[in-house]
Structure 1
């Protein structure tokens, strides 16, 4: 009779041949041995499919799924169908983790009887492999022992009254482990990032709405690598519309789960994504005519009803950088705004 894995690690894979070995070595060398690794080849056009099969041949803990390309969210959902562990983790294949990540997260989950545990992380400049910054979500292990406190943590993913941060906590799923039984019982899934940007926050809303005990540990165990070729770091013309759609979906998900939320504070998440939209546009400029396109985009954003309703009335509450950027947007000072966005 086989022993149930303590953690199922789902790894969506698409066009990451350059980084896959680094990622997989960090998983195979985990100090927690009772794991399963589910490699989901999402129709990758490079050598990744063959690499997946090679890894499965050398370690019985590895499962491989080859599927038609549908994107990150649906690849994770496919991996979930094969997961058998007590907890589930989602690792991006162009990142890597510390060798004791799952030992630390699982130990905290068991010791504190938690349904989800988050950790800190490092941000790497992928080409140079230097740490740009380290994020410690909490200075010491913090337990959220009630449903009300778990919902308060969720609100911290969406907003902050902190003068230096637009949100209190990182919303990504990759620095946590989640109880599989809750996922199964409530049929929690990812939406497609091709429809809604930042699908991780919607997943966390759904999961945390059924959570009544969770923890954060201070250890910086996940290494997030900035990949300039990833879709999340490229400018796309539909990003502003997706930012608005995401904000609407956040409101819908919170309302459907009877979670109380003040609209003025969760407008922070709209501000975060709109700033990123404008920044990615500004930094993608390669020709003089692109400046005109950027200014057209800024004009559209500045006159949008959702921006007028949720962003402008809350400018004074934002951190200094956001306050300056959105004040310029409100004043329609597009050229100074473009200059600042290219610097930040």
Structure 2
């Protein structure tokens, strides 16, 4: 008998994509599902659509609430989840039909609590961008130690997003893990906490097509940068640093992660026209971590560092 999997899907103004996305979950080869659609105060017709879908499939449970953001919706959904396993799915993305079945099989066969899997990215014109995150780490299904997995998360070889893994629900709840409400980048700290709380963690390969298809939208939560992107990124980075330092001996990978986050924060400041004080603070933090060893850790880090170096030098010449 299949164990129940609770799929938690926050919904906010995605009427254009919602039905196709939810159907990719309802059409899974794994049938024992509780699909929780949490309408987070949508104003575009998504509210009516989730109710219509509920009438057509008794596995669906719908909740309507005032808009409080993705984190609050996920926290609420997890409280309603009845499954042995849980999965946070994004309401504008797509999943291959074998994703849940093969993830649960991996978890059951290995008595594991957490498994992450491959993905690719496509845009609003359905153009696909493969590679990047789907590197050699995903070429073999296997159990890995928690510290090794977190190290790979920190340096970007394994995805950190909540939609990129399926987990044993009690591990999340027993450890009292919650998403920080009203914060962007909210899964940067919950993912390491969940891995640390797990007895066994693993990576699931896909034979041909990646299991998950992430839709890159220009008007997504992180697609339009504001001042809160900057402050939230700094806040979440500080949270991750505390978690890793208090629970592991990981140092190099944490420093790489921190440098990359600060370089990303600098780019946000350039876009939103940050204050002089903000520039002074972020430049000080970047200089603290900007060693050759960390800068050359990846092509992405080098590119971000050169961007910072150019603007930092230009500002000093003015």
> Do these two structures clear the TM 0.5 threshold for a shared fold by scoring above it?
yes
| 2:197 equivalent among 207, 210, 216 | 210
TM-score (structure 2 length as normaliser):
0.88
- Within 5 Å, which residues of 2 pair with 1:207-246? 207-219=194-206, 220-246=210-236
Deviations 1:230-277 (A, max 9, x none): 121112124333322222111222344x22221x43132233334444
The offset of 1:45, in angstroms, is 1.2
Aligned to 1:269: 257
Change in CA separation of 1:240 and 1:100 when aligned onto 2, cut-off 3 Å:
same
Please name the residue that 2:64 is paired with.
66
> What are the equivalent positions in structure 2 for 1:1-344 lying under 5 Å apart?
5-125=3-123, 127-134=124-131, 135-136=134-135, 137-144=137-144, 149-159=145-155, 167-192=156-181, 194-195=182-183, 197-219=184-206, 220-256=210-246, 258-262=247-251, 264-279=252-267, 293=273, 300=279, 304-312=283-291, 314-327=293-306, 329-330=308-309, 332-334=312-314
Deviation at 1:53, TM superposition (A): 0.9
1:218, distance to aligned residue in structure 2 (A): 1.2
Q: 22-31 vs 132-141, which deviates more? A: 132-141
Could you tell me which residue of structure 2 aligns to residue 342 of structure 1? none
CA–CA distance in structure 1, aligned partners of residues 257 and 314 of structure 2 = 22
The answer for unaligned runs of 5 or more in structure 2 is: none
Deviates more, 1:132-141 or 1:97-106: 132-141
Q: Cα offset for 1:212?
A: 2.2
What SS class does the counterpart of residue 50 from structure 1 fall into? helix
C-alpha deviation, 1:140, in angstroms: 1.4
Q: Is the 8 A contact 1:235 1:277 kept in 2?
A: no
Residues paired across the two proteins, number: 308
Asked if 1 retains the 8 angstrom alpha-carbon contact of 2:50 and 2:62, the reply is yes
Bigger CA drift: 26-35 or 3-12? 3-12
Q: CA deviation at 1:316?
A: 3.7
Per-residue CA deviations over 1:36-79 (Å, capped at 9, x if unaligned) read: 10001111111111111111111110001111111101100000
What's the offset of the Cα at 1:315? 4.6
Q: Distance in 1 between matches of 2:2 and 2:65?
A: 25
Question: Residue 108 of structure 1: SS of its match in structure 2?
Answer: helix
Which TM-score applies when normalising by structure 1? 0.81
**In structure 2, distance between residues paired with 1:181 and 1:67:** 25
CA drift at 1:29: 0.6
Deviation at 1:314, TM superposition (A): 4.9
